[in-house]
């Protein structure tokens, strides 16, 4: 058991290293050169680098701002929540600073603002998604929001984070102009979508509910033709008061047309609802399918 736990922890730390590296690449290759402030500590670091370069004659590196801001935040967070609160997040925040340093030597890609916003959003979204899947965060505004939430318990942490990021994006608007702020918002939207895809899975499946007076025949046909398991759920028609058998099937999106043909060929009055499923764990998807005999031609 300990070996399994150690292997799982090692995998999570590797995910953090890969995730923070990808995030840093998105920031250094696309965001910083084109002054796209998408909120978060990275957005603040971009503003600090630009302002310091124009006022002091040298730019404060992104990795240094990330490190200097996170240190006091983690100290406060540990004092308020205890050592267990920080966990892998200290490693993730520290390694992000390191990654921001060594990826700063990668040349920026020559592109227009739209390409920078799109590809920067994809990289940062994938990177943050991997870190979150490892049960960690990179600190920054997430950590600040948690600290604020500790003192103002009535506030929702999502609203606090939105407020902090809005302030940073607004600062970027005044420093870099409206146009770049608009492209930054496009990137924020892409980041959120990519993070959701990483966390919830990108292999979309379909969940199907079927109500038919010929549920027995339909279920047998689906198992034979599609090689998918079918679950029967007892229900009651509230208008007729009669008993109903609701069939529940999860299949790949490529099988959905075949499923409808199978059902309607048996019962053209069947009621079918189809919904998206983000990720499926179990036999036929993450495990081998059932060996269900098919009809012979």
- Contact yes or no for 141/41 (Cβ under 8 A): yes
From 5-9, 154-158, 210-214, 224-228, the region with the lowest mean pLDDT = 154-158
pLDDT band at 297 (very low <50, low <70, confident <90, very high): very low
Q: What is the pLDDT of residue 296?
A: 45
Name beta bridge partners: 211. Answer: 246, 271
| Whether residue 25 has pLDDT greater than 90 | yes
Better-scored residue on pLDDT, 279 or 269 = 269
Indicate the class that CATH gives domain 205-277: alpha beta
| Whether residue 8 has pLDDT greater than 50 | yes
Domain limits, the chain: 2-200, 205-277
| Whether residue 1 has pLDDT greater than 60 | no
Q: Cα separation of 218 and 208, whole Å?
A: 13
For 227: left if phi > 0, alpha if psi spans -120 to 50, otherwise beta; the answer is left
Q: Output phi, psi for 204, to 5 deg.
A: -65, 135
pLDDT band at 242 (very low <50, low <70, confident <90, very high): confident
178-189: pLDDT as tens digits: 999 999 999 988
Q: What is the pLDDT of residue 86?
A: 74
- Contact yes or no for 35/184 (Cβ under 8 A): no
Q: What is the pLDDT of residue 283?
A: 58
111-148: pLDDT as tens digits: 889 999 999 999 999 999 898 888 788 888 878 887 88
Q: What is the pLDDT of residue 155?
A: 77
Beta strand 271-277 with 231-236: parallel, antiparallel or unpaired? unpaired
The arithmetic mean of pLDDT across residues 102-114, rounded, is 90
> What CA–CA distances, in Å, run from 129 to 18, 70, 90, 160, 186?
11, 20, 17, 20, 18
Q: Cα separation of 126 and 147, whole Å?
A: 26
Beta strand 231-236 with 205-211: parallel, antiparallel or unpaired? unpaired
Q: What is the pLDDT of residue 4?
A: 66
56-102: pLDDT as tens digits: 888 899 999 989 988 888 888 888 777 766 778 888 889 999 999 99
31-49: pLDDT as tens digits: 999 999 988 888 899 999 9
User: For residue 278, which of 204, 193, 206, 194 has the smallest C-alpha distance?
Assistant: 204
The arithmetic mean of pLDDT across residues 215-225, rounded, is 91
Q: Cα separation of 269 and 274, whole Å?
A: 16
- Contact yes or no for 137/94 (Cβ under 8 A): no
pTM of the model: 0.72
Q: Cα separation of 82 and 60, whole Å?
A: 31
For residue 156, what is the DSSP state? -
pLDDT band at 285 (very low <50, low <70, confident <90, very high): low
Cβ-defined contacts of 46-51 (< 8 Å, 24+) = 46/172, 47/168, 47/171, 47/172, 47/175, 50/175, 50/176, 51/175
Better-scored residue on pLDDT, 241 or 275 = 275
The arithmetic mean of pLDDT across residues 223-240, rounded, is 85
The tokens for 184 are 């930054």
Better-scored residue on pLDDT, 232 or 295 = 232
Q: Cα separation of 94 and 97, whole Å?
A: 5
- Contact yes or no for 193/128 (Cβ under 8 A): no
The per-residue pLDDT of the chain, averaged, comes to 85
């Amino acid at each position: 058991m300990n070996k399994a736990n150690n292997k799982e922890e090692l995998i999570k730390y590797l995910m953090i290293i890969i995730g923070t590296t990808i995030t840093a690449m998105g920031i250094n290759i696309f965001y910083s050169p084109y002054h796209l402030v998408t909120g978060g500590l990275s957005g603040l670091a971009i503003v600090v680098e630009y302002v310091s370069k124009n006022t002091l004659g040298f730019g404060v590196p992104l990795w240094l701002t990330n490190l200097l801001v996170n240190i006091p935040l983690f100290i406060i967070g540990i004092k308020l929540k205890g050592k267990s609160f920080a966990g892998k997040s200290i490693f993730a925040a520290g390694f992000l600073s390191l990654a921001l340093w060594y990826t700063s030597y990668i040349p920026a890609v020559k592109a227009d603002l739209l390409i920078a916003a799109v590809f920067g959003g994809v990289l940062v979204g994938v990177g943050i998604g991997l870190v979150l899947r490892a049960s960690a965060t990179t600190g920054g505004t997430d950590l600040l929001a948690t600290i604020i939430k500790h003192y103002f318990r009535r506030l929702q942490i999502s609203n606090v984070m939105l407020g902090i990021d809005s302030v940073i994006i607004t600062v970027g608007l005044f420093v870099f102009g409206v146009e770049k702020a608009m492209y930054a918002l496009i990137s924020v939207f892409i980041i959120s979508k990519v993070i959701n895809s990483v966390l919830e899975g990108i292999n979309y499946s379909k969940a199907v509910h079927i109500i038919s007076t010929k549920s027995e025949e339909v279920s047998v046909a689906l198992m034979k033709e599609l090689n998918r398991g079918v679950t029967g759920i007892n229900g009651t028609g509230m208008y007729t008061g009669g008993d109903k058998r609701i069939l529940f099937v999860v299949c790949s999106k490529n099988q959905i047309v075949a499923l409808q043909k199978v059902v309607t060929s048996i019962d053209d009055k069947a009621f079918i609802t189809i919904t998206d499923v983000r990720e499926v764990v179990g036999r036929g998807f993450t495990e081998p399918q059932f060996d269900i005999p098919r009809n012979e031609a």
